[in-house]
A and B are shown apart, each in its own frame.
Chain A
Amino acid sequence: MTNSSTSGIKSFGAYIPRRRMLRSAIAAAHAWSHPSLKGLAKGERSICNWDEDVITMAVEAGHDCLRGSSGGISGIVLASTTAPYADLNNAMVVGAALSLPTESSANDCGGSTRSGLSAVIGACRAVGDDVLVVASEQRTGKPASAQEMNFGCGAGAVTVGTGEDVIAKFLGAETLSVPFINSFRKAGERFDYGWEERWIRDEGVSKLIPGAAKRLLSRLDLAPDRTIWFGMSGGGAGADKLVAKVLQIAPEQVLPDLQAQVGDTGTAQPILLLISALERAKPGDIILIASFAQGGEIAAFEMTQSAAATGRRGLAGSIAQRIEETAYLKLLAFDGHVELEWGMRAETDNKTALTQLYRSADQILGFVGGQCSSCHQVQFPRMPACVNCGALNTQKPYSLLDVPAKVQTYTADWLQYTPAPPLYVGLVQFEVGARVLMEIVDVGPQGIDVGTPLEFAFRIKEQDRMRHFDRYFWKAVPVV
């Protein structure tokens, strides 16, 4: 049992973009110049749709984590090396989309892929109110690079706090900071530059991580019969098993490295590995997560109770929701590596009135509509006068985020500009009576029709390419 002052993980959530690019399709596109990529062409990797980024994925993971939660979150930390804004609190945007109280703290952290695990450790050590820690990464590699094959996109979120509802107690952590520069990317640059994998594995991971792990385990003084789940990010293929062997952890206790379905999600990877452990560990099991990067972080948790059933998607659920992609050019186009000709419709000036955005922030970012206190009609947007009875100033905020909904009308628009044609658009009918005209995204090969059930995802609505500002809103996604 945990006592009230012991900190740890209270909830978790994950998000892997539905789009999965077959590595064989990437390798096939490069076969003329880089035939050796065929050696990496197993499985698939997640790619962001054009309207997904670190913020949108963080919202998805955060929402999954907070599902069924009664609130009580006092702050949010967003860890990423690929957050969209250099000067604009990315975590604040995520918090606003999750309708966290405006009094919440919001901190961005990054600088290295280990910052995801650093943020969790930091939150566990700072015993206080519940904090939502999200790590989110939109990784892209130079075309025909190994990174392009191995990287993936995704986000993981955990709620850290104290109390009876802690499901995995924080036992401790070790940190190692050394000038072992396995890879780097200068500010403003698009691609990582990495050193030889063998050097990273043999001189870096194999020598640095086991020492830190042993120090931690020795400090914890665990009984030898304890089940230990081990996961490690940042070391390259097979490095996790290598370290596990040194630590005498059985291969079957090494968490799946997600390479077959997702790829290496950088900052998010250690959190996703932690979630993977939370999804399989039994009370009493130990979870050991390492994140290698210029040294690294390693943290230990003890599973204390199974997670409450909240209808969360989790990591396994998120991996299962996939749309197979084989059009390699789509990856290039979405990541901005090629500029396709979209015609004049793409020239629209998408300047956002920041004044208007602030006035309607809870509606736009939080998807909070209104309910008329006079006739009870739920509606979006929340206008001064009720859409149904016309009563003035009678509306109370009403969140539409988790309200069941379905397609009322739709079409697939091949004329309007969208970076991922066609633009599916239609009227979305909410069970509570509200109706909203929305974009429908991530429509799979099965298509949609009137009556298709929908859920909602925070996405980039339009990009202002002139001023480099993305505006976000919610879009409908078919429930699978």
Chain B
Amino acid sequence: MATGIKDKVAILGMGCSNFGERWDVGYEHLLNESFSEALSDAGIERKQIEAVWLGSALERSLGNSAIPAATALRLEGIPVTRVENMCATGTEALRGAVYAVASGAVDIALAIGVEKLKDTGYGGLPTLGKGTLNDIWMPYSSAPAGFAQLAAGYRAKHGISKEDLKKAIGRVSWKSHQNGAKNPKAHLRKAVEMDTILKAPIIAEPLGVFDCCGVSDGSACAIVTTPAIARALGKRDLITIKALQLSASAGREWGTSSWDGSYVQNTRNAAKAAYKEAGISNPRKELSAMEVHDCFSITELVTMEDLGVSEDGHAWRDVLDGVFDADGEIPCQIDGGLKCFGHPIGASGLRMVYEHYLQLQGRAGARQLKNPQLGLSHNLGGVPYNGVCAISIVGLEGR
């Protein structure tokens, strides 16, 4: 009988590069920027790392395999593996490292994610192939077009007007800009007026420019080990992994009539499993903060329902009521989220955990929350009806 991952693995150290349009550096610099912070935070030497999982979503960031990362970080003679699961890649890398430690295969493992999007030349994400079969029938729509369809489905199901929903999703982005302004590592560090958000040019109806997250360069990483080794290395007040869950689409949402378009089934699947693994029964009360995959404002809105912190059909009201603001009932995207911290794909899942790690240790500076215990991060890859969701929950040991 599987016992789950709760409290079996501790975070020894973490690092996160500045996110943004890093014209001055390449992926090799970004990797070292987060890695050196993590090594210093963990208080270990590079040679103590026994296995590495690299998360990088786009082949054009640093090529296939993890060899370019091993070369950049001079990780010689140890297993270094590249994982890719679209925008959930960062959390996928963490899973690999955490499971390696939990299995007893290694004592110390590194999960590192990176993306160098600003070397692609695109404003958004490049158009990616879908495989030889899908390429010949599936439309090549953009990432925002995939998620924008949630708005149509959500409106239709809950009978909400276009105007009300536009205001609610605008409020999602407004809040993240407020938070991002307080984060020195964030890509977008400027508060924005609601009116500016609502009147911005349309990218994919009803999403405007401000409903879309930043396209950024960046890297984030975690060094993980067992709680016993962490303590032996002198660490106190450990931050441990409470849950790591993942759910992938198998065609039901886009191939049958089962899905109404108003939610993300993968999030519901992964959240249910993660809460069980972490022993959480009332997420709205028990979670201290959330870092969710706000690639687009509508995604964050429906995610509140998918994670069970808002009732179905009520997230838009909770958003407008400020429930997820920095001073709200359950702060969401306290670091600015994908929206403002930025979204270097392979790094994002680890960046989310990094914020919880700082918050749980009381190291979050101007955006520090009061007495946090448990933080949830949520990573979505693909599109709502054909994608993958990864959820990680971290918290104080023993919580």
Interchain nearest-CB distance for B22 vs A (Å): 19
Q: Which residue of B lies closest to A367 (CB)?
A: B137
Are A410 and B136 closer than 8 Å at their CB atoms? no
Chain A 432-460 interface 0/1 with B at a Cβ cutoff of 8 Å (1 = within): 01111111000000000111000000000
Chain B 3-40 interface 0/1 with A at a Cβ cutoff of 8 Å (1 = within): 00000000000000000000000000000000000000
Are B255 and A434 closer than 8 Å at their CB atoms? yes
Selecting from A316-324, A332-340, A414-422, the interface stretch reads A414-422
B252 at the A/B interface (Cβ < 8 Å)? yes
Q: Which residue of A lies closest to B145 (CB)?
A: A413
B346 at the A/B interface (Cβ < 8 Å)? no
Given contacts A345-B127, A387-B252, contact A411 B139 (CB under 8 A): no
Instruction: From the candidates A356, A426, A449, A461, name the one contacting B149 in the complex (CB within 8 A).
Output: A426
Give the interface size class of chain A: 35 or more
Are B153 and A437 closer than 8 Å at their CB atoms? no
B124 at the A/B interface (Cβ < 8 Å)? yes
Given contacts A409-B152, A437-B385, contact A414 B202 (CB under 8 A): yes
| A363 to B137 CA separation, bound complex (whole angstroms) | 9
Interchain nearest-CB distance for B76 vs A (Å): 36
Given contacts A352-B135, A473-B137, contact A409 B203 (CB under 8 A): no
Interchain nearest-CB distance for B141 vs A (Å): 4
Contacts of A426 in B (CB 8 A): 149, 152
Interchain nearest-CB distance for B277 vs A (Å): 25
Are B126 and A344 closer than 8 Å at their CB atoms? yes
Are A356 and B251 closer than 8 Å at their CB atoms? no
Which of A377, A381, A411, A429 has the most C-beta atoms of chain B within 10 angstroms of its own C-beta?
Answer: A411
Q: Which residue of A lies closest to B125 (CB)?
A: A415
Taking CB atoms and an 8 Å cut-off, the chain B residues in 188-242 that contact chain A are: 201-205, 207
Are B142 and A380 closer than 8 Å at their CB atoms? no
B87 at the A/B interface (Cβ < 8 Å)? no
Contacts of A409 in B (CB 8 A): 149-150, 152-153, 261, 385
Interchain nearest-CB distance for B258 vs A (Å): 8
Contacts of A42 in B (CB 8 A): none
Instruction: From the candidates B137, B138, B152, B203, name the one contacting A415 in the complex (CB within 8 A).
Output: B203
Contacts of B205 in A (CB 8 A): 411-412, 414, 422
Given contacts A383-B251, A411-B145, A416-B145, contact A427 B261 (CB under 8 A): yes
Interchain nearest-CB distance for B173 vs A (Å): 17
Q: Which residue of A lies closest to B143 (CB)?
A: A415
B282 at the A/B interface (Cβ < 8 Å)? no
Given contacts A387-B252, A437-B139, contact A427 B204 (CB under 8 A): no
Chain A 326-364 interface 0/1 with B at a Cβ cutoff of 8 Å (1 = within): 000000000000000000110010101101110010011
Taking CB atoms and an 8 Å cut-off, the chain A residues in 360-389 that contact chain B are: 360, 363-364, 377, 379-381, 383, 387-388
Are A377 and B256 closer than 8 Å at their CB atoms? yes
B104 at the A/B interface (Cβ < 8 Å)? no
Contacts of A352 in B (CB 8 A): 135-136
| A357 to B257 CA separation, bound complex (whole angstroms) | 27
Give B residues with C-beta under 8 Å from A: 121-122, 124, 126-127, 132-133, 135-142, 144-145, 148-153, 155-156, 201-205, 207, 250-252, 254-257, 260-261, 385-386
What are the 3 closest A-B residue pairs judged by CB atoms, nearest first?
A413-B145, A411-B148, A409-B149
Please name 24 pairs of A and B residues whose Cβ atoms are closer than 8 Å in the assembled complex, sorted by A.
A356-B133, A360-B133, A388-B255, A408-B257, A409-B150, A409-B152, A409-B153, A410-B149, A411-B148, A413-B141, A414-B202, A414-B203, A415-B144, A415-B203, A416-B142, A417-B140, A423-B141, A423-B145, A425-B145, A425-B149, A426-B149, A433-B256, A437-B139, A461-B139
